[in-house]
Structure formats: structure tokens, C-alpha cells
Amino acid sequence: MYWEKELEILDRKSLERLQVERLNRTLLQAVNAPGYRRIPKIAALARSGISSIEQLRELPFTTKSDLRDNFPWGFLAADKRDVVRLHSSSGTTGNPTVVYHNRHDLASWAKLMARSMFAAGVRDSDVFQNICGYGLFTGGLGFQYGAEKLGCLSIPAGAGNSLRQIKLMRDFGTSVAHAIPSYLGRLFEVFKDEGLDPRRDTQLRTLIIGAEPHTEEHRQRIEEMFGVKAYNSFGLTEMNGPGVAFECTEQNGLHIWEDAFAVEIIDPESLQPVADGEIGELVMTTLDRQAMPVIRYRTRDLTRFLPGDCQCGRSHRRIDRISGRSDDMFIVKGCNVFPMQVEGILMKLPEVGDDYRIILDTIADQDEMIVEVEVKREWFTGDLAFLDRLQRHITRLIRDEVLVRPVVSLVEPGSIPKAEGKAIRVFDRRKN
């Protein structure tokens, strides 16, 4: 059973032909954006056209810094009047990355989402609860439009407020929910505190989990706690958001939708393609986006192609769960954080000394970001009211930047152990 049968089971040759056709269209559209128009190779291939998907490799990569450096309009390839929505990464100190969509783009994304959810067994008879941040986060509106396209009764619950989540689930008979894996442990504890068991006291049968890395063991624990099947959903804002790659009911890797994206896996050092089946960095090109095509985007996510065909019959290749990143970004409570964002804030404050460290830990079943900050000797006095104000000020600044409230701990100068060589700033002690 498929949502868009012709596209989902298209034979590989026809799929590649479709990719070439769409890539040519994408290049023609991309050169409307100043950021791409000034790259001679892109302008040349847009004019001459390409005849095989391998020619993609002749094009330059696009990185997050390219997108940031051209903020806000440099990669917009359509008339501003035709753009109907933007999504953006967090951050107030540097330029965020922004992605623009026109009506075609949103319709195409909604179809990809409906297709993905259908592949994981979601049907129009389901009641779907989206336990995910709305607003600029793509998981909110992305899943929302997908669920509506599919015909589910959707509950746009948003993140947080676990008691209300449970009440919604029970009142409306939620059968499918989307949430971030690290939050589900906390939600389960709240169920227990209320004397409830999600296996017995809800109608949940499917959880869609994604937006942050998790292991197979973690998935199994979630399935056990909630008495459901849990399916992995992968995506990133630059490629719309969710709906890039999704597990089907075979649960054997994530089909990456190759009619909408051209996919490469490269060695992040040599930038050359890795051997088939080896782990490398995922590089993606949009094939069906008009307002903001993105060419050879270096996602920084590490994965590999999985061998063999899937029993479900879908011809789109499968990638393995994301095993790490080729940069230092980490995700906490579903929010992406670069250590430099935290450092940028701290180093601007005259009271702060040279050292700090970020500890990621699981406290009372919830992931937390602890930031230890050395205060300069002259400020580290017995004035507790001053230190309390400083602590609250830093907490506020970091929260505004990364959207997660950190636990800030002010410490004496010299008390953070010095690392040998390159300073290691992030210590991940989370359970999963």
C-alpha cells in the first residue's frame, strides 16, 4: 500500500531520469538567486543542462555558512510576492539560516509528509497528536500539513505541558503521535505519576520519533514503554524539515525520497564520495523546490546507504539512522545548539573568565544542558545577590539564543579542569 504509488515504486532508471529532468529545472530556477547566479559553474550548467545525475558532482557544495553569509535574501530564487512562508533556525547572535517556500513548495512538502506517514502505517482513520514545537520549528507545521493531507484527525498539541498531552491523548483517542525521543521518557514518568499506563490507558499504536539522534535500543525501550511501534523520521530545515527520509513498516532503515532530493554520501575530509555502504556525510540537493532551491547541501549528518531492496517494494534507497555529525552541533530537547553560540554569549560578558563547559545530562528523566561558567576573581566575591543576578542574566541570554533553558552554574576561576591540547567544551552524559 502506497500513498503515491507511481513515484514510490518507480524503477531506478526512471527515477534517475526524473532526477535529471528535475535537476535541470532546479538549476534554471536556482540562478535567479544572487547566491547561485554568481557561481560560474552553476550558471554554465544551468545554461547547458545536464544529461546524467553524476554531473551533480561537478557543482560546488552549499554550506550553512553560505546560507548565513547571504542572509536574508541571497538564496531566494523567486519573486518575494510569491513566497508564502519561511522557516528558520534558532539564534539571535549570528544570522540564522532561513528557508523560503512558495505555494508549490508547501504542497510538495505536505505530499512528502503524507507519503512518509502513510509508509509508517498511518491512515486517515487515525487520530494524530503532534507533540512538537510549532512556529519556526519545521516539525510543527510540517507534520500538521502532512497529517491533514492524509486525512487524519490532527491535534496540534505543541511541545511541553505533559499533563495536557496525556489528557488530549485520552479524551480524543490518539492513535499516532509524533514526539522527540528524549521527551518520551519524561512523558512516560508523568503517566506513571498519574497512576496511568499508556499501554492500558491510551489507544496509541504508533509513535513517530525524530528530530534528534537515538539508538536502536532507545527505540525499543520507547516501544516497550508505550506498547507501540516507533518509526524514525529524519529531516532538516534546509531540505524543508521532516519528510526527507522515513522508516516504512519494515523498520529497516529510512527511505530517502529521491524524486524530491538528489542524495550523495561523501567523506567529510576528502569531499569525495565514499564507497557504497560506508559511513560519510549526507549531501542533498532539492529537486522540487522553487522559492529556494539548495544545491549539494552539506548536512553534516553522518550515515550510510543500506544495501538491498526493501520488502515494502519502494525503490527509493534507504539510509541508516544518523550516527553522528561532522561538526560540533548537538541537540537538546529537540533544539539544535552550536557550542559557539554559548561561547559567543559568555565571552561578551566582562564578568566571565576564560573557561566554561557544557554538560549534557539526564536529570529526573529529562535531558538538561548544564553550563558551568568561570567568573573572574574580582567578581567572584561574597556578594551573593550579584552572583544570583549574573546567573539569571546568563540563563536568560542563553535561553533566548538556543531556545532551551540551561542550568547555569557559576564557578570560581581555575575550578574547571584544563583539557590537554584542544579544549573539550561539551560532555555528553545523557542516558541515550
Residues found near ligand COA in the complex (CB under 6 A): 131-133, 137-139, 159-162, 180, 183, 186, 211, 333-335, 366, 403-405
Q: Which is nearer to ligand AMP, 190 or 331 (CB)?
A: 331
Could you say which of Zn ion, ligand AMP, ligand COA, none residue 250 binds, taking C-beta under 5 to 8 angstroms by partner kind?
Zn ion
Q: Is 129 in the site for ligand AMP (CB under 6 A)?
A: no
Q: How does DSSP assign 125-184, residue by residue?
A: T-EEEE-S--TTSHHHHHHHHHHHHHT-EEE---S--HHHHHHHHHHHT--EEEE-HHHH
Q: How far is CA 172 from CA 153, 155, 165, 179, 308, in A?
A: 9, 9, 11, 17, 40
Q: Hey, how many other C-beta atoms are within 10 angstroms of the C-beta on 171?
A: 9
Q: Which amino acid is at 398?
A: I
Nearer to Zn ion, 56 or 119 (CB): 119
- The torsion defined by the Cα of 372, 377, 383 and 384, in degrees rounded to 10, comes to 10
Question: Contact between 336 and ligand AMP (CB under 6 A)?
Answer: yes
In the complex with ligand AMP, the residue whose CB is nearer, 42 or 322, is: 322
* E strand or H helix at 247: strand 241-247
> What is the C-alpha separation between 400 and 391, in angstroms, rounded?
14
Instruction: Single out the residue of 375, 336, 343 nearest to residue 358, CA to CA.
Output: 343
Is residue 140 involved in binding ligand AMP (CB under 6 A)? Answer: no
3-state helix, strand, coil in the chain (%, to 5): 35, 25, 40
Q: Please pick, from the candidates 202, 299, 302, 337, the single residue that binds ligand AMP as defined by CB under 6 A.
A: 299
Residue 366 binds which of ligand AMP, ligand COA, Zn ion, none (CB < 5-8 A, kind-dependent): ligand COA
Closer residue to ligand AMP (CB): 215 or 409 = 215
Taking CB within 5 to 8 Å according to partner kind, which of Zn ion, ligand COA, ligand AMP, none is near residue 248? Zn ion
- Footprint of ligand AMP on residues 60-99 (CB under 6 A)? 89
Q: Compute the distance between CA of residue 137 and CA of residue 89 in angstroms, rounded to an integer.
A: 7
Q: Does 138 help bind ligand AMP (rule: CB under 6 A)?
A: yes
For position 216 contacting Zn ion by CB under 5 A, the verdict is: no
All 3 cell numbers of residue 135?
Answer: 512556529
- Residue from the set 250, 278, 383, 412 that interacts with Zn ion by CB under 5 A: 250
Give the neighbor-by-neighbor strand order of the sheet with 352-363. 407-411, 366-375, 352-363, 426-428
Regarding 185 and contact with ligand AMP (CB under 6 A), the answer is no
Least Å distance between CB 366 and ligand COA?
6
Site for ligand AMP, residues 219 to 238, rule: CB under 6 A: 232-237
Minimum gap (Å) between residue 73 Cβ and ligand AMP: 20
The residue number whose beta carbon is nearest to ligand COA equals 139
Taking CB within 5 to 8 Å according to partner kind, which of Zn ion, ligand AMP, ligand COA, none is near residue 234? ligand AMP
210 lies in the site for ligand AMP, by CB under 6 A = yes
DSSP letter, residue 53: G
Residue closer to ligand COA (CB basis): 91 or 334: 334
For residue 233, the partner it binds in ligand AMP, Zn ion, ligand COA, none, with Cβ less than 5 to 8 A by kind, is ligand AMP
C-beta separation of 22 from 285 below 8 A: no
Q: Which among 141, 133, 60 has a CA at the least distance from the CA of 99?
A: 141
> Could you give the 3-state DSSP secondary structure of residue 375?
strand
Among 310, 390, 394, 416, binds Zn ion (CB under 5 A): 310
Q: Which of 211, 262, 402, 410 binds ligand AMP (CB under 6 A)?
A: 211
Q: What is the Cα–Cα distance from 348 to 391, expressed in whole angstroms?
A: 15
Whether 358 and 339 have beta carbons less than 8 Å apart is answered as yes
Residues that bind Zn ion (CB under 5 A): 248, 250, 310, 312, 314
Residues that bind ligand AMP (CB under 6 A): 89, 138, 210-213, 232-237, 241, 299, 301, 322, 331, 336
